[in-house]
């Protein structure tokens, strides 16, 4: 019953999400949503643009998550015909982005080890819907009271098929494994 | 114009918040809202209860913030007549709790240094409404690319009167300053 109500509320969003998805498929774009971002890269758009990679900033106007329409109106500003892989970076909160499809093929969460090993238990909604879980800042693990087994058990109870990548963007540990997985998936998809 | 609309939407919540506030004042309760919590203390209710301190857990049912009514229905389960200081712990996200008054006297944000020094710039709404800013996990600062001056400038541009407490709950650094300030404020209030 509850599921039915949620469906009704989200149906307009869902419809636009499907339109976005149709456009991605037509243009041959594999796209990825990072449901959560924790690293301090507020200048990411400029950094990415400086590398010659097309980037568009979406202002949510204070809203706590992206919706399909915000993505839809941003897409004409990107050269989708020449794009193979599109990252959509969502607002960094572990609740609100959970229920709003954007048209993406893959949902990624970037968790951060200093946040604590309890996060899958505290935010089961988010951790149960993602396809990929990146655990960043693992270089700090020796300094934290973070039980990696406890964290993994929490994730796997919710989401046994999730692809899990422990990583440190600072030291580079684990980054190659994630890139290899992504490239392989794009080739297959 | 925009402010007017927000007021209308929030008016039912605001009314209940004022009722909560009236009750706190009548019972002589100083209360505090931590607008954000980052530490891995999902067992906090049990830990607090074990110390003999009355605690009630509020289940938001998946919602991304507390509202005044959730607080209102929880209050009868607390011995307010014997309570001097009440902490209301909100959902740990930096957007949604911003606009919902609960009846509190003081808003506190507990930021965490590994989240990055850009957070005041990324979430100005939250950082501009708080009375107190605790920056936790400062024991990790030497290991992070965290510019404390940049962080403070961002906060002070939004909120010049905020009380700022750098702290490490792990090492105990800065905790006493925060407690002293709180005790002083309760005495004065």
Task: Considering only the C-alpha atoms of chain A, give the largest distance between any 2 of them, rounded to a whole number of Å.
Answer: 49
How many Cβ pairs closer than 8 A exist between chain A and B? 75
Percent of chain A residues past pLDDT 70, beyond the cut: 86
Query: ipTM of the predicted structure?
Result: 0.74
**Taking CB atoms and an 8 Å limit, are A143 and B145 in contact across chains?**
no
Percent of chain B residues past pLDDT 90, beyond the cut: 47
**Which of B91, B137, B146 comes nearest A95 by C-beta?**
B91
* Closest CA of chain A from B7, distance in Å: 16
Mean pLDDT over B153-175 rounds to 95
For residue A39, the model assigns a pLDDT of 41
What region does B52 belong to: left with phi over 0, alpha with psi -120 to 50, or beta? Answer: left
* Closest CA of chain B from A96, distance in Å: 6
What is d(CA A91, CA A38) in angstroms, rounded to the nearest whole number? 9
Cβ of B97: how many Cβ atoms within 10 Å?
25
Is the pLDDT confidence value at B178 over 90? yes
| pLDDT tens sequence across A144-168 | 999 999 999 999 999 999 999 999 9
Helix (H) or strand (E) holding A132: strand A132-136
For residue A44, the model assigns a pLDDT of 60
3-state SS, chain B, equals CHHHHHHHHHHHHHHHHHHHHHHHHHHCCEEEEEEECCCCCCCHHHHHHHCCCCCCCCCCCCCCCCCHHHHHHHHHHCCHHHCCEEEEECCCCCCHHHHCCCCCCEEEEEEEHHHCCCHHHHCHHHHHHCCEEEEECHHHHHHCCCCHHHHHHHHHHHCCCCEEEECCCCCCCCHHHHHHHHHHHHHHC
Residue A61 neighbours by CB under 8 Å, 6+ apart: none
Higher pLDDT, A153 or B189: A153
For residue A63, the model assigns a pLDDT of 83
For residue A136, the model assigns a pLDDT of 94
For residue B8, the model assigns a pLDDT of 55
**Which of B40, B114, B119 comes nearest A117 by C-beta?**
B40
For residue A116, the model assigns a pLDDT of 93
Token pair 């080739």: residue: A187
Q: Are B133 and B109 in contact (CB under 8 A)?
A: yes
Residue length, chain A?
189
For residue A171, the model assigns a pLDDT of 93
What is d(CA B98, CA A15) in angstroms, rounded to the nearest whole number? 30
Q: Which residue in chain B is spatially nearest to A151 when comparing CA positions?
A: B40
Helix (H) or strand (E) holding A109: strand A106-112
Mean pLDDT over B80-108 rounds to 87
| pLDDT tens sequence across B95-144 | 888 888 899 999 999 999 999 999 999 889 999 999 999 999 999 999 99
B151's tokens: 């962080």
For residue B10, the model assigns a pLDDT of 58
With beta carbons under 8 A apart, name residues in chain A contacting B145: 40, 170
Is the pLDDT confidence value at B40 over 50? no
Is the pLDDT confidence value at B146 over 70? yes
SS3 call for A106? strand
**Which of B94, B140, B145 comes nearest A114 by C-beta?**
B140
Mean pLDDT over B48-61 rounds to 84
Residues in chain A predicted with pLDDT less than 50, given as ranges, are: 37-42
Asked whether the whole model's pTM tops 0.90, one would answer no
**Taking CB atoms and an 8 Å limit, are B95 and A94 in contact across chains?**
no
Higher pLDDT, B49 or A46: B49
Percent helix, strand and coil across chain A, each rounded to 5? Answer: 50, 15, 35
């Amino acid at each position: 019953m509850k599921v039915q109500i949620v469906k009704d509320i989200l149906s307009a969003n869902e419809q636009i999400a499907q339109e976005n998805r149709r456009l991605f498929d037509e243009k041959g774009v594999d796209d990825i949503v990072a449901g959560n971002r924790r690293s301090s890269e507020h200048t990411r758009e400029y950094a990415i643009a400086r590398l010659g990679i097309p980037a568009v900033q979406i202002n949510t106007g204070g809203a706590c998550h992206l919706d399909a329409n915000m993505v839809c109106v941003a897409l004409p500003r990107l050269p989708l015909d020449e794009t193979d892989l599109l990252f959509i970076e969502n607002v960094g909160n572990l609740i609100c982005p959970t229920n709003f499809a954007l048209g993406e093929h893959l949902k990624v969460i970037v968790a951060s080890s200093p946040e604590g090993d309890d996060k899958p238990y505290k935010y089961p909604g988010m951790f149960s819907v993602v396809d990929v879980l990146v655990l960043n800042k693992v270089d700090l693990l020796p300094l934290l009271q973070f039980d990696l087994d406890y964290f993994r058990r929490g994730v796997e109870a919710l989401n046994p098929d999730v692809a899990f990548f422990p990583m440190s963007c600072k030291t580079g540990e684990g980054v190659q494994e994630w890139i290899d997985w992504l490239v392989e998936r794009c080739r297959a998809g």
